[in-house]
Structure 1
Amino acid sequence: MRITLTTLTLPPTPILSSTFISDGRNFAIWNQILAPHLRCDSEESAKSLNCTATTSCNCDPAENKMKCLCQDVNITDIFTKDIGSRFPIRRPWITFTANTSKGVTAHIPSLVAAEVFVQLRERFERTEKIVTNEKCTITDTVAKGCYRCPQGAAVEIYCTTDGNATIATVRCDEEYFTIPCTPNGTKSIWRFSHSSAKVRKECQVSCGKTTTRFEITGILQWVRTLSGIADRIAQGESNVQRNDTTGFRPHL
């Protein structure tokens, strides 16, 4: 018998395409617009000076010389001052941990689907093919959370089937994921990122040949991150409103 993992589907996670940096002991996620001036692929490349140097300068001619204004990137500050970017990074939908020998490890706790191919070499005298065609339904639900924020939005989905317990396939716009579905209804939590306050997603769910529709709506809130508040305090602002530090603010 041979078991092969053919496909592995992850929920939409844009943070996986982020850039990570390390000082040899600590890891951090690079959130700044400017890239570091000196980039090395590995520690061995850095020791042999096999690196790429880039600058961000604006130069203008000044008589018989050039006058350049360059932007400096302080890499050490991300390890000492930017707490939100240092490892370990924990979000409701993903956790990043550092592994000095293998780099960065990402753990996604839910909504991961896999397809396994099982190959057998046996002799069978009789085979039976059982096809089930349950009908799965999900009621319209409301999304809660924030938009354009690391926490993202979340929605509780209750999936009910008229047959045996099964796994349902859900499609919302261009996003696919699977959830458990039972006769009494099973709750699943789907987390997603959104760029605006108003949410309206047309979704489909299927367990067999029958497809049913449901809708996800809601008004998301805006939230200021703790790092943004710390930056304001560091810049000398003393009038930081209390509702900035307690989380969500209603969308106006």
Structure 2
Amino acid sequence: MYLRCDQETDYFSRAIQLLTIDSKRCPHMGSCVDQKCANINNTLLIPELEEGNKYPGRTRCLESCGGLGCDCFYLSSGCLIYRVYAVPTDNKVYRQFHCLRWSKEIKLELVMEGLNKTQSRQYYVLQLMPNVPTPSLHSHFISDDYDLAITKKPNTAPLYCQSRETAIATNCTLNDDRRCTAAENKVQCECPPYDIAEEFNRIELKLPVKTSSWELRRRKNMVIAKIPHLVSSDVMIDFNRTIEQLTTLEDDDVCTIVNAPLEGCYSCLRDGNLSITRRDGRRNSLRTPSLCRLVPTERNTSKLRFHFNTARQSQNCSIRCGKNLRYFTLEGVLKYIGDPQAPLTSLMGTSSAHNDFV
């Protein structure tokens, strides 16, 4: 049995490198004005962080020292503004998805006899509701349009893109878990160890993945779960097939018949006979005079027996092979075998025999 994954995309992403850019501003200088850090949110693009504004990222602000000890004129606190941004490391786009549902299908092979041998074997896919020993099918998957892999850390990629186009243009949202702290005039951040390219390239997670009871494989861009054993279902199939074309094969082989002399006697019990040899070795339709019967002897030889009342004979016969009709002639002179009691009947004057002389 096969289970086909009905995919639902979670997001698109790319392999990135997280970088940090920062800027220390004294109070009432640059972007550190008015309410200072209270005016700065995650999406704000700060002129001092121009290099990081080219990429997806988030902007933050930490309160920093002020006064003469920090090279500032005003004694109030300053601003340590920084931005964490994502720089793509390659051009590959990844798609994470999960299976909203699994459609069940069972493949049956039906052999149907037909006139065309090349089409006598047909395959059907039937939608059934079998009793399935369902494996763990709640995994999330990553695809790069060429390969598929299972991800053990779903929804962990820091770069979220709504579509493939926005991922190519890096018009995405950065959701990172970096913890950053102020260190004098710089910012120090801790980066979580996750790389979507490294996760995707783990060999043990690349499809196909096989276990003792099920198998996950890739069919084009689809995920297919194969369960070869322990599947039960009651199936009743009714087929109505219409024959659209009927082919008739006729054998038009050329056959010949070899003439043989007509032998035997007439007006006798043994009758006349004729041996006929057919060179094609097939059973054909042989038309002969009505006063004869066909006696098969060997495979290609038949013997005709005739009952005639005269000695000299000439008969027209025909043989049909498929559509072809061939004619031949039976000719011969039959012998006369007299009755042993004929002299006695002649002496008694009761004879009615008519003799032919050759």
The TM-score with structure 1 as length reference comes to 0.34
